[in-house]
Amino acid sequence: MTDKPALPDGLVAVVKKDCPTCVLVAPVLEDLAARADLTVITQDDPTFPADADWVVHDDDLALSWHHDIETVPTLLKVKDGSADDLTVGWSREQWEEFAGLDGLGKDLPDWRPGCGSLSVDPTLTDELSVRFSGSSLTSRRIELAALEDDWEAMWDRGWSDGLPVVPPTEARVLRMLEGTTRAADDLVAVVPPDLVECTVEKVAVNAVMAGCKPEYLPVVIAALEAACTDDFNMHGLLATTMPVGPVLFVNGPIRNEIGMNSGLNLLGQGNRANSTIGRALQLVIRNVGGGKPGGVDRGTQGNPSKYGLCFAEDEEGSPWDSYAESRGFSSDVSTVTLFPGEGPRLLFDQKSRSPESLTKHLGQMLVPYASPRMVMQFETILVMSPEHMARYRDAGWDRARFLEELNGHLLLKGSDIVAGADGIEEGMPEFVAEMDLPKHPPNGIHVVHGGSHAGLFSSAIGGWVTGEMGSVTVTKEITR
């Protein structure tokens, strides 16, 4: 951190030429310089308001930044290098009181507002913060040659998921860290598959690369904490040859605070938060934990959602409790849920007008996931659209009633699904032939409400093997 430079004692005015009010009061400044002990600190033009020895050029903005100048003109009373008092903009009454002089700016309006100081210009603040605050960042610095292309350089170093990434400059990482109250060196998780300790700073680096805003960072941190639990088993999810990855959905107030999409095209492109939060998690797993395709990541075919699939639940439009509430969380708590899933699959029903008809049809559509002959191994997210949900709202069904009815339609006859039945070698062992078996394990259907209010379509996201041999769905509270 650089030392705070002292201001000259007496009256000090901070100005810039690119400010109409500063230009307006230029004659007043010359008058004050002649009649009082005045120093003018100019931020842009070193000869404004005059080419004189009482004008100091703040060429690196150190004086303005260290003394928290937010508006120009600012007139300060300085003693022993620090301001005792200040006034911003132009006010004849206040300037005359500060200077102890009458007759300032007789031909000027009585008052005019100031302009933003260059030291708080959004295009400069990150650079100034790095320059003057010093940096506590511990990540290794990579210097690129003058002729290197940022994107190509990061691709060549293996930091990308195949799409362009944002260069994680020191300024961008520091700005990202403003999104959380946690210290940069706080340990978030030990990230598989290489079991590398990952700090908040490392999460921030990858969140920058993914294109996140700082306010998304708490969601990414909570998602990483959930992913690195024994229950979720991120290492196993990487190593399986099935086409699955972490699917994220968010509940609680933070959804609206950061502008997540829970409506039209919620599982698709176009929303920055939805698109980048899941991607940031995947980049941390890749860049910190070493989980890259061809290494531990062994997906036979993979699926596009492995770039990152993240969405929010439409809680306000649902007649039911939110998904997080169904898992015991309060409505005023924000959560992220991680599900080990594949890509979304369409559930098509445009004719059912009763909940009984729709539920039975949904059951039929959920049976084929992975294989219609595999039972009790895989869980499913059911993303219920508003038009489909209306059937249950109108009939007064709640979440419990729906799941009871749906699971009743997901009982399969063992004789139909044993190996060899109907000439198909794949299937369950012969001892289940006389049983009726549920498609999903207990509590294996996770219902989330969302989507456009136009369209009688819902979606299912099938899962990986659940339980001790696979992954368990994890919901984590998001803290700032």
Mind listing the pLDDT tens digit for each residue in 371-423?
A: 999 999 999 999 999 999 999 999 999 999 999 999 999 999 999 999 999 99
As a whole number, mean pLDDT of residues 266-271 equals: 97
Q: How many domains does the chain have?
A: 2
Are both 259 and 297 inside the same structural domain?
yes
Task: Classify residue 3: in a domain, yes or no.
Answer: no
**Based on the domain organization, do 285 and 405 belong to the same domain?**
yes
- Domain finish residue from 80, 101, 133: 133
Phi and psi, residue 315, nearest 5°: -75, -40
Q: Is residue 142 part of a domain?
A: no
The pLDDT value given to residue 131: 87
**Global pTM value:** 0.85
Q: Are residues 310 and 357 in the same domain?
A: yes
Is 244's pLDDT higher than 80? Answer: yes
- Inter-residue contact 402 to 359 (CB < 8 Å): yes
Q: Give every CB contact of residue 99 below 8 A, 6+ residues apart in sequence.
A: 11, 32, 35, 36
**Alpha-carbon gap, residue 275 to 114, rounded angstroms:** 39
- Give the model's pLDDT for residue 327: 97
Mean pLDDT, to the nearest integer, of 269-279?
Answer: 98
Does 217 share its domain with 115? no
- pLDDT the model gives residue 84: 87
Residue 2 pLDDT > 70: no
DSSP string computed for 112-138: E--EE-GGG-TTTHHHHHHHHH-----
Q: What are phi and psi of 46, to 5 degrees?
A: -65, -10
**Is residue 140 a part of any domain in this protein?**
no
Task: Print the domain residue range for 156.
Answer: 152-477
One domain for residues 35 and 160: no
Is 139 a member of any domain? no
Judge if 107 and 171 occupy the same domain: no
Same domain, residue pair 193 and 108: no
Same domain, residue pair 70 and 156: no
CA–CA separation, 118 and 126 (whole Å): 12
Higher pLDDT, 83 or 54: 54
Q: Mean pLDDT across the stretch 80-101?
A: 94
Is 381 within the bounds of a domain? yes
Residues 124 and 160 in one domain: no
pLDDT digit string, tens, across residues 120-142? 999 898 889 888 877 778 999 99
CATH code, domain carrying 115:
3.40.30.10
Claim to verify: residue 295 and residue 440 sit in the same structural domain: yes
Q: Which residues of 217-239 are buried (b: 16+ CB within 10 A; e: fewer)?
A: bbbbbbbbbbbbeeebbbbbbbb
Position 123 in a domain: yes
Question: Is residue 477 over pLDDT 80?
Answer: yes
Query: Is the domain of 93 the same as that of 159?
Result: no
Residues 254 and 260: their CA atoms lie apart, in Å, by: 8
Q: Do 107 and 170 sit in the same domain of this protein?
A: no
Beta strands in 292-386 (DSSP E): 309-312, 335-348, 378-384
Q: Average of pLDDT values for 298-323?
A: 96
What sign does the CA torsion over 421, 427, 431, 433 have? negative
- In a domain, residue 63? The reply is yes
| Cross-strand partners of 190 | 197
Q: Is residue 143 part of a domain?
A: no
Last residue of a domain, one of 133, 163, 192: 133
* Nearest CA among 117, 212, 232, 116 for reference residue 165: 212
